[in-house]
Amino acid sequence: MKSDAIRVVIDTNVFISAVLFKGESAKLLELWKKPRLKFLICKEVLEEYIKALSYPKFKLSEEEIKYILEEELLPFIDPVNITSEVDIIKEDNADNKFIALAIDGNANCIISGDAHLLKLKKFQGIGIVSVKEFLSRF
């Protein structure tokens, strides 16, 4: 059975903005809680989210991080195991995991605020869009 849900990969800076700040990215928080949006994630991306939430500049306690993960993220994700090897982004090799996740998760798009990803615009038929562009399209 084919789902009409939009399958998305959300890069770390967009995820952090969505869960910690108000603004355009925060609108994604409500969208990924709806069945119309499938929020794809893999172990490597989850680890990066946790690392970013732990940055001292955010001043989050372990309990607050646990709440974000258990209440705002984990109930709404579609886990994917990455098997693809991607080496398209040379400037920041760590960004390649988002493309691999999108490929292996059959994503419709990657939502990003990262210039290295956004300049690609599309990779193997997968759109790479800003939050604003995603919200205006979907």
Residues 65 and 53: beta-carbon distance below 8 Å: yes
Indicate whether 3 pLDDT > 70.
Answer: no
pLDDT tens digits, 65-101: 999 999 999 999 999 999 999 999 988 889 999 999 9
- How big is the chain by its Cα radius of gyration, in Å? 14
CATH number at residue 77: 3.40.50.1010
How many domains are contained in the chain?
Answer: 1
41 vs 22, higher pLDDT: 41
Domain that holds residue 95: 6-137
pLDDT tens digits, 29-71: 889 888 889 999 999 999 999 999 999 999 999 999 999 999 9
DSSP result, the chain: ----PEEEEE-HHHHHHHHHS-SHHHHHHHHTTSTTEEEEE-HHHHHHHHHHHT-GGG---HHHHHHIIIIIIGGGEEE----------STTGGGHHHHHHHHHTT-SEEE---HHHHTT-EETTEEEE-HHHHHHH-
Terminal alpha carbon distance of the chain: 22
Task: Work out the mean pLDDT of the chain and round it to a whole number.
Answer: 94
- Identify whether 109 is part of a domain: yes
- Identify whether 1 is part of a domain: no
Tell me how crowded residue 138 is: count the other CB atoms within 10 A of its CB. 14
pLDDT tens digits, 8-20: 999 999 999 999 9
- Identify whether 115 is part of a domain: yes
